[in-house]
Amino acid sequence: MDPLRQPPSPCSSRPSSPRTPSCEMLGYVGIEAVLDQLKIKAMKMGFEFNIMVVGQSGLGKSTMVNTLFKSKMWKSTLPGLGVPTPKTLQLQSVTHVIEEKGVKLKLTVTDTPGFGDQINNDKCWDPILGYINEQYERYLQEEILITRQRHIPDTRVHCCVYFVPPTGHCLRPLDIEFLQRLCQTVNVVPVIARADSLTIEEREAFRRRIQHNLRTHCIEVYPQKCFDEDINDRILNSKIRERIPFAVVGADREHLVNGRCVLGRKTKWGIIEVENMAHCEFPLLRDLLIRTHLQDLKDITHNVHYENYRVFRLNKSHVLPRGPGWVNLAPGPAPSPASPQATPRTMKVCRWTQDNSDDEY
Ligand SMILES: Nc1nc2c(ncn2[C@@H]2O[C@H](COP(=O)(O)OP(=O)(O)O)[C@@H](O)[C@H]2O)c(=O)[nH]1
Ligand SMILES: [Mg+2]
């Protein structure tokens, strides 16, 4: 027997070669095996994913980070759990490598100090947009090196979870201004924070009003309609769009409920379980971020948001042709988001060349 066609040993990283086809499948080449190859490569490389939480202080951002880390999926040994979450005073990133069924995920969560606490909230978005652009700049500086790393470390923010205060009214002008800027730079998933302070009817009415605000102010949150790739995407994403912003509750303490250990908030009237869909929509947020849309969030970050930044920076740096592949891009500070013209807002690079003009449904 040809040694190349022998079944691989269990520790081999190569997929088995497709079986010899039966007579009726003579035209069969075995292209589908490429999927196995991709899977094995991806498992070897692992995945990187970066999330940021943004919103006014006291809305439960740091608690939500712990909720995500502590929930069943992300059993972790974060130091300090169980003690009250200290106030976040500066941007800070925590990285964890999570492994499940042989798949490694390097997850970085960036927690931000609350904004909007000042009397004058002018440009309170600057530090956050500055951080996001800085990560694009880092990636760009690595990418343009002549001898670049085979794998460029990716610190770019793939998703920003924006916490809306549970006022029950509508988006505040500050949220609208912030979201308008943020959505042009990064994927944004808004959530209704501390949703346990609203009744089910209030949550629903608030959600509808926020959706209306987003539409009237042309704020495109994730998943953006124009990037649905096919009918299946449209069906799934339109269901998600219906439910966004998710009404979430955060908690970092475990309680015993009917013999089960659950993450939740203990009140006089009972336990609010964060993973129970009857209590809040935290599971929808976690599923979107990890189970269903992780790769898509990364793709849009790379193909749209980073691409906008890259085009903007290359244009700004007067790219001069000096032989094949030469790019004269002086390393410099990331464009300051303080000057509105410095951020690539107005450009929109579409992922695919397909015509999306028929996206209404
Ligand atoms: N009722 C309620 N309280 C919450 C929730 N999430 C966090 N908290 C509490 O709100 C306070 C501020 O939370 P923290 O996570 O520090 O807010 P941050 O300033 O946005 O990071 C803490 O006492 C939390 O226990 C929630 O979903 N509902
Ligand atoms: Mg905090």
- Give the angle 83-88-91 at the CA atoms, nearest 5°: 135
Residue corresponding to tokens 């490694």 = 104
Angle between helices 126-143 and 307-316 (to 10 degrees): 80
Please classify residue 153 by burial: count the beta carbons closer than 10 Å to its beta carbon, then call 0-12 exposed, 13-18 middle and 19+ buried.
exposed
250 lines ligand 1 (CB under 6 A): yes
253 lines ligand 1 (CB under 6 A): no
Distance 184 CA to ligand 1 centre (A): 28
57 lines ligand 1 (CB under 6 A): yes
Q: Mind listing the pLDDT tens digit of every residue in the chain (361 residues)?
A: 444 454 444 444 445 555 555 656 677 788 888 888 988 888 888 889 999 999 988 999 989 988 886 653 444 444 444 455 566 667 888 888 888 788 888 889 898 887 766 666 777 888 899 999 999 999 999 998 888 888 899 999 999 999 999 999 999 999 999 999 999 999 999 999 999 999 999 999 999 999 999 999 999 999 999 999 899 999 999 999 999 999 999 998 899 888 889 999 999 989 999 999 999 999 999 999 988 999 999 999 999 999 999 999 988 776 544 444 444 444 454 554 444 344 454 444 444 434 444 443 3
62 lines ligand 1 (CB under 6 A): yes
- Domains of the chain, by residue range, sit at 46-76+87-115+122-251+280-317
Report the CATH number of the 46-76+87-115+122-251+280-317 domain.
Answer: 3.40.50.300
Q: Are strands 103-111 and 47-55 parallel, antiparallel or unpaired?
A: parallel
